[in-house]
A and B are shown apart, each in its own frame.
Chain A
């Protein structure tokens, strides 16, 4: 579910961003020109020392959770 266009299907790209301690996840159709916020997927990280590691871990986990190949 995305904030802007609801459910999106097909081949998608995930982008997670860490901006001043806030982690956000957005998706777009592969090769498309606009990104959509995954509903509810933003979080402020408390410990600056851990931010990069947490970011990478969350990104990996999200990719695994979101990937739902057909067949």
Chain B
């Protein structure tokens, strides 16, 4: 076996897709299903004052980053890990087996308005992505603090959404990516702002402008 590697560096605002993505299959969507939302989404007034209090700084480097430094999907209760806990919280009529895997249920994704009946079509989005947190201050945290952030059920930092939409968001902040449904931008900006505020993360100036504009729609 022979391996030959070639290496190079580049800058990508967005690494473009090389294959089909978002062949979106909209599942049955009845009248907007009852949906549990992440906790502690602030009022508009509170979100605006929290945004004003965030420190503005350019993004730090990604040196040393790996997702292993944000241990996630830890055990929360019984057999249930963080992902399974959020699936139960955000879905309706969620049935789980003895290992806490969701065997049936319905999940409405507020990012794109799609409803899913298979848990495998649903991702748990880190509202502030792990990579984005790293370059906004989390690189200097302990692994224990990063674990608490990556599994934060107390703030609006985790939400069940369509898996393809989570993939298309990736590591991008609101200056580069917003939920496809503009009707959700106000709520999304509140969640993003509150999570950054609670965790003491910085914003860059483009991100702050985008958040101000989104909160202006509330």
A residues engaging B (CB < 8 A)? Answer: 1-2, 5-20, 27, 29-34, 38-41, 52, 55-56, 59, 63, 65-70
Contacts and interface: CB of A to CB of B under 8 A. Distances in A.
A5 B131 contact: yes
A58 B3 CA distance: 16
Contact of A31 (B19, B21, B61): B61
A55 B2 CA distance: 14
Contacts, number: 144
* Closest 4 pairs (CB-CB, A-B): A7-B170, A40-B19, A29-B62, A31-B63
A63 B171 CA distance: 20
Interface residues of B, number: 40
Nearest to B63: A31
Contacts of A34: 65-68
Contacts of A20: 1-2
A52 B172 CA distance: 35
B4 A31 contact: no
Contact of A11 (B7, B62, B170): B62
Nearest to B4: A18
B166 to A, nearest CB: 7
B66 A16 contact: no
B9 A5 contact: no
A6 B170 CA distance: 5
Max chain B Cβ within 10 angstroms of own Cβ: one of A7, A29, A33: A7
A63 B66 contact: no
